[in-house]
Amino acid sequence: MTVENLVMQSEELGLRLVHESDRVKFFFIEQDVTTNQYIKTPKPEPEIEEFFVKLQSTWSEGDSDWHGLAVVDVETNEFQGMSFYRYRDKASLIVEIGWKLHPDAAGRGVATAGARMLLKYLQELYPVHKFVAHCDADNLASERIMQKLGMQKEGDFKLNFKIADTWRDEFAYGKVLGDT
């Protein structure tokens, strides 16, 4: 099977805009409590629907809201998860990235490969001075991904964000590109 509309591809995985065929798995990763345990309280279905529709269009660079690309298996076109991005500070050319996988894809390097492709894709199309990423201090898998991407730990923030009624610690990582 040939996957259409890939914006970036490795040997096994590709990045593309979200398709209607991704709906079930996308909604699952946005609503599943376990998938989101270190990220956020799942949003109501109408908000997920609005985000899903937005992800089917190209990114508006001026928008500081999250956008993302589906990570798919290039042989089957099967949705594996998402690689997300947004300008954290457009004037300073700082892009924040993140990821979320369907549980079927976890533990196989899919998030790391998707994030690597995303960094390359963003650098080819947009002005970027620095990439940043944040994770819950207990989310060791995401912290390892940031390290594999060559990001350096820049911050350890105590009780910095809230999931449901619980305050969480957060790590911040960054990677400056080129000359500083």
Segment 37-72, tens digit of pLDDT = 999 999 999 999 999 999 998 888 776 789 999 999
Whether 167 and 161 have beta carbons less than 8 Å apart is answered as yes
Segment 63-103, tens digit of pLDDT = 678 999 999 999 999 999 999 999 999 999 999 999 999 99
Q: Where are the domains of the chain?
A: 6-176
- Mean pLDDT for the chain overall: 93
Beta-bridge partners for 167: 162
> Does the 6-176 domain belong in CATH 3.30.1490.20?
no
Residues 6+ apart with CB under 8 A from 68: 18, 55, 82, 83, 84, 85
Measured in whole angstroms, how far is the alpha carbon of residue 24 from the centre of its chain? 18
Where does the pLDDT of residue 31 fall: very low under 50, low under 70, confident under 90, or very high at 90 and above? very high
CA distances from 152 to 125, 145, 148, 155 (A): 24, 11, 10, 9
Where does the pLDDT of residue 180 fall: very low under 50, low under 70, confident under 90, or very high at 90 and above? very low
